[in-house]
Each structure stands twice: as C-alpha cells, then as structure tokens.
C-alpha cells in the first residue's frame, strides 16, 4: 500500500494491514448486527464470543499446558508491576528481580513499595547492553517469586533461555516479545504483556496465570487489583476494554493465518538479520548497542559515530518514509522495533537505506 509508512515505532506500534482493513469494515456493522462491537453490552453473546475465542487463541498459539488461565486486564504492564507484588509478595517472603534495563528496574521499584526485595542478578554496567548469564542468578531464602523481563524494549536485549527456578514461581514481563517466537511457557507461573507492541492496540493487558498461584492473595487487596476477580469472572467482572480485546482477537487470527508461531518467528529472524547485517557489515559505521548473544529480535538498538551523523540519519530516514527510529529518550541513539506486524519489506527497505546512507556519508 503506497501510503503506509515504514513503521518502526516501539509502542504503540504497527498493526497488520489486513487486521486494520477488517476492523475498518466491521466498525459500522459487526457480523450483521448493525452496530460495532464497541456499541453493545459486554454481556452480549457477541462480545462473550470475542472474549472466549480470544482466550482460546492465546491458549492455542502459545500451546499453554492445562492449569493456566488467560485474563484481560487494564492499566498496562505498568499496573502489573504493582499487582504482582500486591498479590504474591506475602509477609515473610522476598521478591527477586533480574535487573536488565529500564523495564525490569521499574518492576523492581514497584515491588519495593510492598515488601522485601532482592536483586537476583543484573546486567553489566559497562560495555554492550547484556542479559546476565542464567548461572549468575541467585534466589534468596523464602523467595516469593523471580521476575524477569523477557525482552528489554529500550535496551534491545532479550533472553533466549529462561532460568529454572524449581518451586519458586517464575514471572515474566513479555510485553514486547509475546508471541514473537516459540518458547516453553510451562516454567512460568505468570506472564503479562501490554498489548500495544505485539498483540493489538493499547488498552488491554494480557495476563496468563497458573491457577494454583492465587491461593495466598491477601484479603485486603482491592477487587480490581486481585487476579482472582478476573479468574472467577472470566475477565468480565466490570466493563472490559472491548475494542482492544476485539483487535487482539483479529491480530491473533492473523498470526494463526500467517502459519502460527513458528512461521512468525522465522520471519522475525529473517527481518532482524537484514538490519543486524547492515550494522555488522558496516565496518563500524553503525554500532549495535546490545551484546551479540543477547540481541533482541524485536528491538534493534544501534549508534552512529557522532550526534551530527545520527541527526542526519534520522532526517534522511524520515524524508524516505521511515518512522520511529529515534531511540528511547533514556538511552538515545537509534532503535528499530520490528514487531510481528512490521512487514519484511519495511525491514528490507531499512537495511537498504542504511547501506545507502553509509555510502553517502561514510
Ligand atoms: C512497554 C513496556 C512496558 C510498559 O507497558 P504499559 O502498557 O505502557 O504500562 C512494560 N514492560 C515492557 C517490557 C515494555 O516493553
């Protein structure tokens, strides 16, 4: 489509064109009811079907074993930073965090509001941005859980294997890489993700929780901040973000129709290889910011040799239809987010642009 931008935004981010077109069609008349899904009760059979089907799609695409519930919440991943310790950090226990960057730090800081915390491992302070080796992770006595951030959206680093925590619940913030690759969910007791990177528009937060994790939630937690409110009411205790869930439903079907998780992962790897190759073959003109072994297949962070050149790069990129390449304000430099819905063609165009920019400015 001629007027679609090469969209590398970090979040909210690109949505599949097919999904946008279907949503456009259905916004006037959903399934012949003469209204959109936004305009009817969340207790209607139409919405209930969207709600149930979207849960099933998550179960199916992630191949979740029995015993997990799929929940739809609000407040973004940032609210989960608080809900996790509120519900799970009980007196006498310690919450452990692996600190890998801005998002893990925020989750850790929030837990400090609720009880004892412990830094199980942390990324190196100098050199390339990294994920600590799994054998560096240490659990405290009486650990309530271990929290990891599977993909650090700002740093551009990602876990490619997860720690074995035995009986200690493992919790993952997967906001920026959920459903981008195959992984075994069974070691995790709780996974959460704001939708606006890989799953749909903002407004809904996906939570996947093992039912046996809920037993000890303190009775004083407000109703809307308790996981059991959502598990026992099929995520329909109050009015859910109906349109965001509907959009997630369309995105999940798009993943299924694209060949499922393995096909999506293969394409994501091909997409990022194009851009990482442009960096690695540049003879130092571009420099990747993440340690090679920890390079994210969702967020590619890189530098050029001067502020001036970076400014020129962004201006030139913008003039050529590329959007969202400026790094997060906390780290600066460049970042290309290549979530599931970012087409291969956009990544190819960016890689070619990078080579061409180097030729003109190197
Ligand atoms: C974007 C992001 C968040 C914050 O999500 P909100 O929905 O804006 O609260 C948290 N963690 C990670 C890894 C993210 O990428």
* pLDDT value of residue 217: 78
With cut-offs at 50, 70 and 90, classify the pLDDT of residue 2: low
Find how far residue 145's CA is from the centre of its chain: 20
**Which residues on adjacent β-strands are paired with residue 98?**
121
With cut-offs at 50, 70 and 90, classify the pLDDT of residue 215: confident
Residue 147 and residue 72 share a domain:
yes
* pLDDT value of residue 214: 83
User: Which residues fall within 8 angstroms of residue 87, CB to CB, at 6 or more apart?
Assistant: 214, 217, 218, 221, 225, 226, 227
CATH of the domain at 49: 3.40.640.10
- Can you tell me the mean pLDDT for 197-217? 93
Residue nearest to atom 4 of ligand 1 (CA): 77
Answer whether residue 7 is part of any domain: no
- Boundary (domain end) residue, out of 257, 288, 315: 257
**Which candidate, 235, 257, 268, 241, places its Cα nearest to that of 337?**
268
Residue 267 and residue 208 share a domain:
no
pTM for the structure as a whole: 0.97
CA distance 153 to 174: 10
- Boundary (domain end) residue, out of 226, 257, 288: 257
Tokens 């990129």 sit on residue: 317
* pLDDT value of residue 1: 54
Answer whether residue 214 is part of any domain: yes
- Boundary (domain end) residue, out of 238, 257, 276: 257
Residue 253 and residue 264 share a domain:
no
Residue 347 and residue 224 share a domain:
no
Ligand 1 center–CA 163 separation, angstroms: 22
> Looking at the predicted structure, is the pLDDT value of residue 218 above 90?
no
Residue 80 and residue 133 share a domain:
yes
Answer whether residue 94 is part of any domain: yes
Ligand 1 center–CA 80 separation, angstroms: 10
Q: Which residues are catalytic?
A: 103, 173, 197
Q: Output the six-digit token pair for 292.
A: 């090679």
- Tell me the pLDDT tens digit for each residue of 307-345: 999 999 999 999 999 999 999 998 899 999 999 999 999
Residue 250 and residue 204 share a domain:
yes
Residue 219 and residue 294 share a domain:
no
Q: Who lines ligand 1 at CB under 6 A?
A: 11, 76-78, 103, 149, 153, 173, 175-176, 194, 197
CATH of the domain at 341: 3.90.1150.10
Ligand 1 center–CA 103 separation, angstroms: 7
Answer whether residue 5 is part of any domain: no
Residue 231 and residue 289 share a domain:
no
312-345 b/e (C-beta count within 10 Å ≥ 16 → b): ebbeebeeeebebbbbbeebebbbbbbbbbbbee
Answer whether residue 12 is part of any domain: no
Range with the poorest average pLDDT among 112-116, 191-195, 326-330 = 326-330
Answer whether residue 130 is part of any domain: yes
Most distant CA pair in the chain: distance in Å?
Answer: 64
**Ligand 1 atom at shortest distance from the alpha carbon of 149:** 13
**Ligand 1 atom at shortest distance from the alpha carbon of 11:** 1
Average pLDDT of every residue of the chain: 97
* pLDDT value of residue 233: 96
Pocket test for ligand 1, best of 10, 82, 106, 153 (most atoms within 8 A of CB): 153
- Residue 68, H or E segment: strand 68-73
- Tell me the pLDDT tens digit for each residue of 279-313: 999 999 999 999 999 999 999 999 999 999 999 99
Residue 298 and residue 187 share a domain:
no
Residue nearest to atom 5 of ligand 1 (CA): 77
Ligand 1 center–CA 71 separation, angstroms: 17
Pocket test for ligand 1, best of 75, 151, 176, 331 (most atoms within 8 A of CB): 176
> Looking at the predicted structure, is the pLDDT value of residue 216 above 80?
no
Residue 201 and residue 269 share a domain:
no
Residue nearest to atom 13 of ligand 1 (CA): 175
The boundaries of the domain holding residue 322 are: 260-361
Per the structure, how many domains does the chain have?
A: 2
Pocket test for ligand 1, best of 10, 13, 72, 77 (most atoms within 8 A of CB): 77
CA distance 14 to 34: 29
CA distance 178 to 133: 21
- Tell me the pLDDT tens digit for each residue of 5-57: 999 999 999 999 999 999 999 999 999 999 999 999 999 999 999 999 999 99
Residue 303 and residue 200 share a domain:
no
Residue nearest to atom 3 of ligand 1 (CA): 77
Question: Apex CA 274: angle with CA 153 and CA 318, to 5°?
Answer: 70
CA distance 117 to 362: 48
Scanning the chain, the segments in alpha helix (DSSP H) are 17-26, 45-61, 76-88, 102-112, 227-231, 242-257, 260-280, 307-319, 344-361
With cut-offs at 50, 70 and 90, classify the pLDDT of residue 3: confident
Answer whether residue 1 is part of any domain: no
Answer whether residue 203 is part of any domain: yes
Residue 201 and residue 336 share a domain:
no
CA distance 314 to 321: 11
Ligand 1 center–CA 360 separation, angstroms: 37
Ligand 1 center–CA 161 separation, angstroms: 21
Residue nearest to atom 10 of ligand 1 (CA): 77
- Can you tell me the mean pLDDT for 144-171? 98
3-class secondary structure for 79-109? HHHHHHHHHHCCCCCEEEEEECCHHHHHHHH
- Tell me the pLDDT tens digit for each residue of 68-81: 999 999 999 999 99
């Amino acid at each position: 489509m001629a007027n679609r931008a090469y969209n590398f935004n970090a979040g909210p981010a690109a949505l599949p064109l097919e999904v946008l077109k279907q949503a456009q069609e259905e916004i006037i008349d959903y399934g012949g009811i003469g209204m959109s899904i936004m305009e009817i009760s969340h207790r209607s059979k139409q919405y209930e079907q969207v709600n149930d089907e979207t849960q099933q799609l998550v179960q199916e695409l992630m191949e979740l074993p029995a015993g997990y519930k799929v929940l739809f919440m609000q407040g973004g991943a940032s609210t989960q930073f608080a809900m996790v310790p509120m519900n799970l950090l009980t007196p006498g226990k310690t919450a452990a965090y692996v600190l890998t960057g801005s998002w893990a730090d925020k989750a850790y800081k929030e837990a400090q509001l609720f009880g004892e915390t412990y830094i199980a491992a942390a990324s190196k302070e100098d050199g390339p941005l990294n994920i600590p080796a799994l054998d560096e992770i240490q659990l405290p006595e009486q650990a309530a859980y271990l929290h990891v951030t599977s993909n650090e959206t700002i740093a551009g680093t990602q876990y490619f294997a997860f720690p074995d925590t035995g009986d200690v619940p493992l919790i993952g913030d997967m906001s920026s890489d959920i459903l981008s690759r195959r992984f075994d969910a069974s070691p995790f007791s709780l996974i959460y993700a704001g939708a606006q990177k890989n799953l749909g528009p903002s407004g809904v937060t996906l939570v996947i929780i093992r039912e046996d994790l809920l037993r000890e939630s303190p009775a004083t937690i407000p109703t809307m901040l308790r996981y059991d409110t959502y598990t026992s009411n099929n995520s329909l205790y109050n009015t859910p973000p109906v349109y965001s869930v509907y959009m997630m439903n369309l995105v999940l079907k798009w993943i299924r129709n694209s060949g499922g998780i393995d096909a999506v992962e293969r394409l994501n790897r091909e997409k990022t290889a194009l851009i990482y190759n442009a960096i690695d073959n540049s003879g130092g003109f571009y420099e990747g910011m993440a340690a090679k072994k920890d390079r994210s297949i969702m967020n590619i962070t890189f530098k050029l040799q001067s502020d001036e050149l970076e400014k020129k790069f962004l201006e030139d990129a913008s003039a050529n239809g590329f959007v969202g390449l400026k790094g997060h304000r906390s780290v600066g430099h460049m970042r290309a987010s290549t979530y599931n819905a970012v087409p291969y063609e956009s990544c190819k165009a960016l890689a070619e642009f990078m080579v061409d920019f180097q030729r003109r400015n190197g």
